[in-house]
Structure 1
Amino acid sequence: MSVTQVIIQALLFLFLFLKVLAMVDDSHTEQQRYIGLFPDR
């Protein structure tokens, strides 16, 4: 695997991890912070 592929996979994993954290966490402030960092569009 090339370095770029590793970086892309790491970013995707981190993105999914934060999405799951935002879903699990009930506090709206945390969720809005994640949405602000990672907009869906």
Structure 2
Amino acid sequence: DCLREQRQILGSESNMSATELTHTYTQPEDYVEWARKFMNVNE
């Protein structure tokens, strides 16, 4: 799915692996919060 593809892309560019992201951010709200922090999105 979309999130899996994004995790693979972001995982290769960050210090966190896709597995770590999956374990750390299991809820959509957590993923969005991480995405905001990671990409500095202010919405």
Determine if the TM-score, normalized by the shorter chain, exceeds 0.5.
Answer: no
The alignment's TM-score, normalised by the length of structure 1, stands at 0.37
Larger Rg: 1
The alignment's TM-score, normalised by the length of structure 2, stands at 0.36
Higher relative contact order (CA 8 A, sep 6+): 1
Higher helix share: 1
